[in-house]
Amino acid sequence: MGRLAAALALAIAAELLHFMAGDALWSKSLGLAVAALAIGLSGVETYTQGFAALRRGRLNINALMSVAVTGAFLIGQWPEAAMVMALYAIAELIEGRAADRARNAIAGLLALAPEQAEVLQADGSWRAQPAAEVALDAVVRIRPGERVPLDGVVTEGRSSIDQSPVTGESLPVDKGPGDTVFAGTVNAEGALQFRVTAAAGNTTLARIIHAVEQAQATRAPTQRFVDRFAAIYTPAVFVLALAVALGGPLLFGMAWLDAVYKALVLLVVACPCALVIATPVTVVSALAAAARRGILVKGGSHLENARLLKAVALDKTGTITAGKPRLVHWETVGAEGQALAGLAAALAARSDHPVSRAIAQGIGAAPLPVDDFRALPGRGVQGRVDGRELVLGNHRLVEERGQCNAALEALLRTHEAQGRTLTLLADAGGVLALFAVADTIKDSSREAVAELQRLGVVPVMLTGDNRATAETVARDAGIAEVQGNLLPEDKLAAIEALQQRMGPTGMTGDGINDAPALARAEIGFAMGGAGTDVAMEAADVVIMNDDLRRIPETIRLSRRTHAVLWQNIVLALGIKSVFMVLALLGTATMWMAVFADMGATLLVVANGLRLLRARAG
């Protein structure tokens, strides 16, 4: 910065010598030397990159400025040449720092995770060691007020943790044994011990930063358009300037020096700095704002295209509902008694589905060993317990096995009318027991659905659960369209049907069975808290705190980002157009040209950086 300040001071000195000392030889010689020194101090990088581009036959911004400044100096406009180069270099510095500010909004998250962790040793003592060296399954202790150094599962203690840097939640979350903690979050009031579940380079925070950095490397549609436009625009400006320099004297009788000066002014005015910087600063600012809110967008194209969504399909369990159902009722269907509960618990304990976990926890019996265990996607599980071939699954599975009857159907309808999810235990002889699980809708889901409707986006529920339960939950959430009893391939087909009927469609889910639909939708939203790794890999956007309100928030941010992008493009091209006309008419000077270029650049940068302050609503 000191070098550029000196260059600007020398450029001002050259201007003063030119105006105050007149045509004296000593003043011209001194002014020429001062101007050349100013250009040398401020223009080394511009000339290096500009001449390299010219040697390769490429006409970029630096080539344009190198030609304009050199031409002005050679035709005797050395004070203006010095000022143009000094101000251009300062504008480039400001532009670079503004872009860094947008990028550093994400990179700064790295500082949230402490470098040291207090680790339990084999002899029972505690020792501080670098977080990067802590092994998986090590036990780490954090005191009140300290930041969590690594991801883990609480093994001892209770406290509340501020998770806003990772999930965007505004309120602290209570944590106890069995709960997950994230690196970079802040422990509030109680001491905690936790078992490390991810190495320092693979924590949730590290993955967020890595994903956003990858997203920054991708081009949004508007950014790709601007890049293509600039590739045509810059050579076209060179051709226009050359036509003015040659055509003015040959066709209109202009003086050669006047025509060349007008062409050089045109080159400076037309410099596409503002146009080129307008899109990346805006996109990176929006990505950073989203990440601060716990919304991980995997690319600029997804960020910009979310504004186009006409419908959003929502899974039920873990997405609209809390995903933590509990066993509210169970009963035998045949003559057997309480022993059936242990058989069901054995199968349920082997599954990671929320309904299965609720059954296993609700029964509470020590699980029996299971042989030949196998998952039946979209239906349930099967295995051999105590030598008996058993299945534990939904209504569809029992129907496919031909084990339904009128009495069982009537019993199922009674529970389904209450919004309960039913799981049936059966063997080759028929259904043995019925387990009813209930899940509660999230408070945020109703608000999210209402907000989607206000944005003109149609919410649709797609679930593998039975139709009656799905309709009960959908009615509570305010969703009019619902489809139940869907297998993974059915959800995929439903998404394709919505795309045909409504247009661009989003999909929201958290399970392995949602992954095909998430991948097929225009925008896939995965629940990052309760979601599976497969779902999060398939999705385009990950909601880190499982709050559905983040979906309309993403759509609003997308619409705002698109608006700012086009505001910047119109600003940049509008200012350029006005001063290009003035340059062609001969009323614009080099001074006016460089201030037009600087002004347009600073305007679009400031406008793009406004997105860093994006908040809910």
Pull the structure tokens for residue 362.
């609700």
Alpha helices by DSSP H, 203-332 = 204-217, 221-252, 256-270, 273-292, 300-305
Pull the structure tokens for residue 208.
């967020």
Does residue 546 have an active-site annotation? Answer: no
N- to C-terminal Cα separation, the chain: 39
Cα separation, 475 vs 17, whole angstroms: 80
Burial 20-31 (b: 16+ CB within 10 A, else e): eeeeeeebbeeb
Helix (H, G, I), strand (E, B) or coil at 463: coil
Cα separation, 460 vs 521, whole angstroms: 13
- Side chain identity, residue 367: P
Pull the structure tokens for residue 536.
């999060």
Pull the structure tokens for residue 62.
């630096």
Q: What is the DSSP letter of 147?
A: B
| Helix axes 590-609 and 78-107, enclosed angle (nearest 10) | 10
Q: What sign for the dihedral angle of Cα 265, 267, 273, 275?
A: positive
Task: Please name the helix (run of DSSP H) or strand (run of DSSP E) that holds residue 473, with its range, or none.
Answer: helix 467-477
Cα separation, 341 vs 327, whole angstroms: 12
Cα separation, 203 vs 289, whole angstroms: 20
How many residues comprise the chain? 617
Cα separation, 456 vs 446, whole angstroms: 16
Task: Please name the helix (run of DSSP H) or strand (run of DSSP E) that holds residue 499, with its range, or none.
Answer: helix 488-502
Cα separation, 492 vs 504, whole angstroms: 14
Strand partners, 482: 461
199-100-616 Cα angle (round to 5): 75
Q: How far is CA 378 from the centre of its chain?
A: 30
Kindly name the residue from 23, 123, 137, 315 that is annotated as catalytic. 315
Cα separation, 2 vs 14, whole angstroms: 18
Q: What is the DSSP letter of 197?
A: -
Cα 193 to Cα 131, 140, 175, 199, 201, distances in angstroms: 15, 6, 11, 17, 21
Q: Which residues are catalytic?
A: 315
